[in-house]
Structure formats: structure tokens, C-alpha cells
Structure 1
């Protein structure tokens, strides 16, 4: 008897991208550029806002093309402790409090 195969459709298994980049990052950078342009109302602020928008959009597209879950990987990486001390050695003298916590 052959195993039954179930196709996994691409439409239900896609990453949440917007304009080719991560949805939240693209929309937040657009919001920042929009706020900069319309709060300052100068030509320099408009140029800086547009450069910020298109530059960040380019970076987010490259990042999504490399790995569409890069933001989640980076945020998980930031949660890790900066240093994990080495504790596994047969020559370590364990204090009495450590032995009593495993009884």
C-alpha cells in the first residue's frame, strides 16, 4: 500500500512580506520617513526622508532575499546571554548547595 501524499501549497506557506521586505520593518521605515518629511516641511528633510525610505527599502529587500526570517533570528540572538560560563569538567568541585538541589 502506497503512502498518501498531501501537497503543500505555496500560498498558505509564504512569509509575510510587503514590497519585497519584512512587513513590519518596511512599514515602520515608511512611517519614519513620512513623519520626517511632513513634520519638518523642508527640502532637505524631504531629501533625507526619501533617501531613508529608499535606502531602508533596498536593505530590507536584500535581507528578505537572503533570509525572510532574518529579523526574528536577530531578535532571538539579542536575547541570548553575552557569556555562558563553562561548567562541565570532571575536576570541578561542586558546592554542597548544588548537590542538594538535585535530590
Structure 2
């Protein structure tokens, strides 16, 4: 009896992206740019806010293009940093007598 294969559709298994970048990072950078523009209410602040918005959007798109889950991987790396083993490689030979 052959195993039954079930196709996984691409539409049900997509990453949570907004405007081509990570959803939370894009929306937070838009919020920061919006706050800068409307709190200062100057032409220079508007230019700086728009530059900040387009620069952050470009960076988020590049990040999502290389790995759509890069933010989650980085946050997990930061959380587990205290648990990393004090070895340089998993292939290290552990000797009972120490270093020779």
C-alpha cells in the first residue's frame, strides 16, 4: 500500500510580510516616521521622517528577501545566548586531563 501524499498549498503557508518587509518592523518604522513628522511640524523634520521611512522600508525589504523570518531568528538567538555551551565547536574532543 503506497503512502498518500497531501500537497501543501503555498497560499496557506506564507510569511507574515507587509509592503515586502517584516510586518512589525515596517509598521513600527512607519509609526516612528509619523511621530517625527507630526511632532516637529517642520519641513526639515518631514524630509528626515520620509528619509527614515524609505530607508527603513528598504532595509526591511532586503532583510525579508534574504530570510523572511530573520527577526524571529535574531530574537531567539538573543534569548538563548545565556545557554550556549562554552565550546568552540560541537566536534571538539573533550579530554579528562584538560589542555595539553
The verdict on a shared fold, with TM-score over 0.5 as the criterion, is yes
How many residues align? The count is 91
2:51, 2:83 → 1: CA distance?
Answer: 34
Alpha-carbon distance, 1:29 to partner? 0.2
Q: What residue number does 1:81 align with? A: 82
Structure 1 residues not aligned, in runs of 5+: 93-103
> Normalised by the size of structure 1, how large is the TM-score?
0.80
What is the root-mean-square deviation in Å for CA atoms of aligned residues?
A: 1.8
Query: Please, what TM-score do these two structures have when normalized by structure 2?
Result: 0.82
* CA–CA distance in structure 2, aligned partners of residues 83 and 10 of structure 1: 35
Q: How does 1:45-84 map to 2 (within 5 A)?
A: 45-79=45-79, 80-81=81-82, 84=85
Quote the offset at 1:85 in angstroms. 3.4
The structure that has the greater radius of gyration is 1
The alpha-carbon deviation at position 75 of structure 1 amounts to 1.2
Deviates most, 74-83 or 22-31:
74-83
Distance 1:89 1:65, change over 3 A: same
